């Protein structure tokens, strides 16, 4: 008796059954990450008498940007490792283990030196490099390229991310307020352990079962390009990381986070251009696939611009909430960290609506192109930072009086709507456009957009303080101008890009017919 394919293909709210296990794995991994991320700049900039590290704001903000930026940058290497050695599923598994060890190391800071704090951040960066790219690729393999549910599926997956992101700051904010920093950090490790169990016991069996009844991309299970040198390259890279950590811990190397972030931003830009050039010239891809690679590059640059604004939620917007926002609700002062739950709450509310909207418009052949969705995202983000500029003027004109939290809430709403137009759609588009033989590497490059965004947000965030109050409106207005320029440029090249894709797809259909 033949198995009922639809039973597996539509088992999770009309989507493939394995989406369920991947949904909950990502939920708890994001719980662990967003449980600690908003604490970082507040912890590092807090005075040592209050249990913090006593760093100046520009340095603390740069470290936050370096941490998050390096995490996304590492996805390029993680994608390469998955493509050439581990395969997607094993990469997610090993990445989860490394991240769990990183959270444990940060928790140990309460009982030992600050070395374990920074070492834990390094481990989380390394583990995320394997995890983030590959779990998104696995989601993409569940759908055929022309499946109208693809964008909606990534939106649902994205909602799982934000469920974890919503709950985590609420819990950690409460814990640090009443019990200290390190218990807040430690709870993130618990989330990572839950993610490990769910992936191993639920997600992998569901994918295996699904692959027996429906043909899917086998890259989830094994590498698409077995490279016998890959293990040596990985061991060499880890040896270099260990050497740098040892030299830094012993004081032989002195690190200036602000300078590193500045130089790393330039280096990443050069590297992205070089790597795309390498893929265009030397990868085993057709002319049609090379054209799609160029489009991936353009979208990556636009995404980096968006994330440079959005990722200020952990730096400039976090500090604005802490220093310039009235946080009293019915006489109770809520932790500044709780503002970080506003964005994921809005995603939880609006992601299903957006997913339904894309499917409905798709069935009516009125779904906006992914280029149009990117333009909308940039305009929404620009509007959000326009509100922040007005909020800054209000603080200045009132002589430093705290402003209403509705300024930040409205900004987070606009940024969230922009995020829903760009992030899940961008993930879906990359898995659709990227050639299968280098899909992991292209997905890794896609995440470098977030790396650049976090690095730039780290540089900007350190300027939000009482000492630089007069500069805040100019700071936010510059963000508005940059985002609008990006939207205008993308609008100008929209038609040529869509025509290129249309012509390419028509040629493919003609070849298949002949």
19 pLDDT more than 50 = yes
1 found inside a domain: no
Number of neighbours of residue 77 by Cβ within 10 angstroms: 18
Give the pLDDT band of residue 381 (cuts 50, 70, 90).
very high
Residue range(s) defining the domain that contains residue 386: 13-513
pLDDT higher than 70, residue 387? yes
**Per-residue pLDDT reduced to its tens digit, 42-55:** 888 876 656 677 78
Residue 3 in any domain: the answer is: no
What are the tens digits of pLDDT across the range 257-270?
Answer: 888 888 888 888 88
> What six digits make up the tokens of 394?
């209000």
Predicted local distance difference test score (pLDDT) of residue 507: 46
Between residues 424 and 379, the one the model is more confident about: 379
- Asked whether residue 107 is domain-assigned, the answer is yes
Which segment of 8-12, 42-46, 296-300 scores lowest on mean pLDDT? 8-12
Give CA 509 to chain center in angstroms.
35
Reported as type and span, the H/E element at residue 328 is: strand 328-329
Q: With 60 as the cut, is the pLDDT of residue 345 above it?
A: yes
pLDDT in the model for residue 219: 65
CATH code: domain of residue 460: 1.20.1250.20
Residue 508 has pLDDT above 50, yes or no: no
- DSSP bridge partners of 12: 15
Least-confidence region, from 7-16, 157-166, 212-221, 379-388: 212-221
Q: Please enumerate, as own/partner, the contacts of 5-13 that have beta carbons within 8 Å and a separation of 24 or more.
A: 5/213, 5/214, 8/209, 8/210, 8/213, 8/214, 9/214, 13/156
Average pLDDT over residues 252-256: 84
d(CA 239, CA 359): 48
Length, in residues, of the chain: 514
Q: How far apart are CA 255 and CA 184, in angstroms?
A: 27
Please give the pLDDT value at position 260.
87
368 band by pLDDT with thresholds 50, 70 and 90:
confident
Asked if the model's pLDDT at residue 65 lies above 90, the reply is no
SS3 string, 105-147, reads: HHHHHHCCCCHHHHHHHHHHHHHHHHHHHHHHHHHHHCCCCCC
By percentage, how much of the chain surpasses pLDDT 70? 91
Can you name the residues that pair with 403 across neighbouring β-strands?
A: 325
Pairwise CA distance, residues 196 & 84, whole Å: 23
Which contacts of 283-286 are long-range, i.e. CB under 8 A and separated by 24 or more positions? 283/435, 283/437, 283/438, 284/437, 285/435, 285/437, 285/438, 286/435
Distances (CA, A) of 334 to 385, 408, 416, 477: 23, 14, 22, 28
The SS3 call for residue 333 is: strand
Query: Cα–Cα distance between 476 and 315 in angstroms, integer?
Result: 13
- Number of structural domains (the chain) is 1
Evaluate whether residue 410 is within a structural domain: yes
Looking at residue 57, what is its pLDDT?
80
89 within some domain: yes
Judge whether 4 lies within some domain. Answer: no
Q: Which residue has the higher pLDDT, 287 or 63?
A: 63
Asked if residue 327 belongs to a domain, the reply is yes
Query: pTM of this prediction?
Result: 0.78
Q: Taking residues 199-219, report their average pLDDT.
A: 80
Dump pLDDT digits (tens) for 440-494: 677 777 877 878 888 888 887 766 666 677 788 888 999 999 999 999 999 988 8
Distance between CA atoms of residues 350 and 416, nearest Å: 9
Instruction: Answer yes or no: is 407 within a domain.
Output: yes
Which residues are 328's β-sheet partners?
Answer: 333
Range in 178-182, 238-242, 314-318, 404-408 with the lowest mean pLDDT: 178-182
């Amino acid at each position: 008796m033949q198995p009922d394919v639809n039973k597996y293909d539509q088992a999770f709210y009309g989507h493939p059954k394995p989406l369920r296990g991947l949904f909950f794995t990502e939920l708890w991994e994001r719980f662990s990450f967003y449980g600690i991320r908003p604490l970082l700049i507040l912890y590092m900039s807090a005075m040592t008498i209050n249990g913090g590290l006593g760093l100046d704001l520009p340095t603390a903000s740069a470290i936050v940007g370096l941490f998050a930026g390096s995490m996304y940058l590492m996805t390029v290497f993680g994608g390469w490792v998955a493509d050439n050695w581990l395969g997607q599923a094993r990469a997610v598994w090993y990445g989860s283990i490394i991240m769990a060890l990183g959270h444990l190391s940060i928790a140990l800071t309460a009982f030992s030196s600050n070395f374990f704090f920074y070492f834990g951040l390094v481990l989380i960066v390394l583990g995320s490099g394997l995890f983030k790219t590959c779990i998104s690729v696995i989601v993409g393999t569940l759908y055929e390229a022309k499946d109208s549910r693809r964008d909606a599926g990534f939106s649902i997956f994205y909602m799982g991310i934000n469920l974890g992101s919503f709950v985590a700051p609420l819990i950690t904010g409460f814990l640090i307020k009443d019990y200290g920093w390190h218990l807040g950090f430690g709870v993130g490790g618990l989330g990572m352990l839950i993610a490990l169990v769910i992936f191993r016991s639920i997600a992998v069996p569901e994918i295996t079962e699904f692959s027996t009844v429906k043909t899917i991309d086998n890259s989830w299970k094994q590498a698409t390009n077995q490279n016998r040198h890959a293990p040596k390259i990985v061991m060499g890279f880890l040896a270099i990381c260990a050497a740098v950590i040892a030299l830094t811990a012993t004081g032989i190397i002195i690190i200036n986070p602000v300078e590193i972030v500045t130089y790393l931003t330039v280096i990443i830009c050069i590297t992205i251009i070089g790597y795309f050039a390498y893929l265009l010239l030397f990868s085993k891809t057709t002319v049609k696939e090379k054209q799609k690679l160029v489009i991936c590059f353009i979208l990556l640059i636009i995404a980096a611009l968006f994330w440079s604004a959005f990722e200020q939620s952990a730096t400039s917007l976090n500090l604005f909430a802490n220093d310039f926002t009235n946080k009293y609700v019915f006489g109770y002062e809520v932790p500044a960290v709780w503002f970080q739950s506003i964005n994921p709450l809005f995603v939880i509310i609006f992601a299903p609506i957006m997913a339904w909207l894309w499917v409905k418009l798709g069935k009516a052949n009125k779904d906006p192109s992914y280029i149009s969705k990117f333009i909308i995202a940039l305009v929404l983000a620009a509007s959000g930072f326009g509100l922040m500029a007005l909020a800054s003027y209000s603080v200045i004109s009132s002589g430093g009086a705290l402003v209403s939290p509705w300024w930040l809430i409205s900004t987070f709403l606009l940024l969230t709507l922009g995020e829903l137009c760009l992030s899940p759609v961008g993930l879906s588009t990359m898995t659709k456009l990227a050639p299968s033989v280098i899909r992991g590497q292209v997905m890794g490059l896609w995440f470098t957009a977030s790396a650049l965004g976090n690095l730039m947000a780290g540089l900007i965030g350190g300027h939000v303080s009482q000492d630089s109050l007069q500069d805040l409106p100019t700071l936010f207005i510059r963000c508005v101008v940059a985002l609008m320029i990006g939207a205008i440029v993308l609008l100008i090249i929209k038609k040529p890009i869509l025509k290129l894709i249309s012509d390419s797809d028509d040629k493919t259909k003609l070849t298949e017919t002949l």
